[in-house]
Amino acid sequence: MDIVHSVIGAFKTPTWTSVVIYSVWLVWLFILSHIVPGPIARGQPIKTRDGKTIQLEYRMNGFYIFLISLLVYFLLIYLNVISPTIVANNYGALISLVLIFSFLVSVYLYISAHVFDRVEKGHITGNLLKDFWLGVELNPSFGGLDLKMFALRPGMMGWTMINLSVASLQYSKYGFLSNAMILQFILAFIYVADYFFFEERMLSTWDIIAEHWGFMLVYADLWFIPVMFSIQSWYLVGQLEPLSSGYILLTIIIFSIGYYIFRISNLEKDQFKTNADKKIWGKKPRMIGDKLIADGWWGRVQHPNYLGDILISISFSLPCTTQLGGYFYPIYLIILLIHRQIRDDKKCSEKYGKLWNEYCKAVPYRLIPYIY
């Protein structure tokens, strides 16, 4: 319960300072998304309301924007334009503001889709709350940007900015950074940098190709990711006892194993979708009906990317040692991914029929080899 009390207790009334900080952050990323060079990638084929098949185009410049934003952030600190603890000092007001903003964006999406007749008739249920929660548009856009892809930028980059600011808070209080804070920051930074380096791979994920953009994902992208995934750093502010070398090594090993499984399995999946004949693990991959890959990590477990993500999340929390609240992320993620795995299995069964049954016989384990 301490994590619930910590989050609820952190909320403050939004201030003009928080409005300026978040507005500048969004406008900055919006402008950079348009002007920073980057390769153009095409999304998965989707059907429009009139039955046509199209592929949306995306400028994959997220990694460059991430690096530019960090450089500008450090430059502003060096020039004494902003304090390194600016986010931490305004944290309560900011998280309240972003939560309200997420709700207002969702209201706008729901109303504008109906006003401008962009509602996808096959998706809307007629239940206002359900349609508001799940969304009624697959790819809502604003100012030339796909909002569903764009929203992950302030969310994921915001996670790093919160971690930086909280680490600065520890330094300002105690005059040093604990090795636990440094370790946790480095691992989370690698994960976020990896996301933007391989941003194009997001275009083949279920969230992008199938989930409509309603409050569930708006709130998750804009608020939940930066706020809840950075909780460990807050628990580490007052944890000054250094971690042992063995404990650090164990944490790095768990992260490395998880990262390897997560990244390689996602690359295998993306490769299979773009070039099914390309070798995986030194040979042409085994396929079920030319539609399902049953080789590489996908031949060991049905959802290897979920397994890797869970191991990574555990490594983020291990620096918190015995502070249970610092383990919110992996606990939440395990519940989320098991629920998503059940949903995925149902959808795949409906989509592939007998082929899915054949795949499940060939690869019987869902998340953890020989266990589940």
Dump pLDDT digits (tens) for 319-341. Answer: 999 898 889 889 988 998 888 88
* DSSP structural state of residue 220: I
**Same domain assignment for residues 277 and 180:** no
Domain match, 101 and 18 both: yes
pLDDT given at position 256:
96
* Alpha-carbon gap, residue 238 to 218, rounded angstroms: 32
Q: Comparing 97 with 135, which gets the higher pLDDT? A: 97
Question: Does 209 share its domain with 174?
Answer: yes
pLDDT of residue 285: 75
Instruction: Tell me: do 235 and 250 sit in the same domain.
Output: no
Looking at the fold, whether 117 and 224 belong to one and the same domain comes out as yes
Q: 267 pairs with which residues across the strands? A: none
* CA–CA dist 285, 296 (Å, integer): 7
Q: Are residues 233 and 255 in the same domain?
A: no
Whether residues 318 and 192 share a domain: the answer is no
Among 206, 240, 274, where does a domain finish?
240
Same domain, 85 and 208: yes
At residue 152, the pLDDT reads 93
Q: What is the tens place of the pLDDT at every residue in 244-270?
A: 999 999 999 999 999 999 998 888 887
Which is more confident, 3 or 35?
Answer: 35
184 and 268 inside one domain:
no
Same domain, 232 and 247: no
Instruction: Classify 353 in phi/psi space as left (phi over 0), alpha (psi -120 to 50) or beta.
Output: left
Percent with pLDDT over 90 in the chain: 49
Query: For residue 1, is pLDDT > 50?
Result: no
Co-location of 51 and 65 in the same domain: yes
Residues of the domain holding 249:
243-372
Phi/psi-derived region of residue 135, left when phi > 0, alpha when psi is between -120 and 50, beta in every other case? left
pTM: 0.87
Domain count, the chain: 2
Backbone φ and ψ of 194, nearest 5°: -60, -40
Given a cut of 90, whether residue 63 has pLDDT beyond it is yes
Pick the last residue of a domain from 240, 261, 289.
240
Task: Using the 3D structure, point to which of 217, 240, 263 is the last residue of a domain.
Answer: 240
Co-location of 46 and 172 in the same domain = yes
Percentage helix, strand, coil for the chain under 3-state DSSP, each rounded to 5: 65, 5, 30
Residues near 66 by beta carbon (within 8 Å), at least 6 away in sequence: 157, 160, 192, 193, 196
219, 106 in Cβ contact below 8 A?
yes
What pLDDT is stored for residue 4 in this prediction? 45
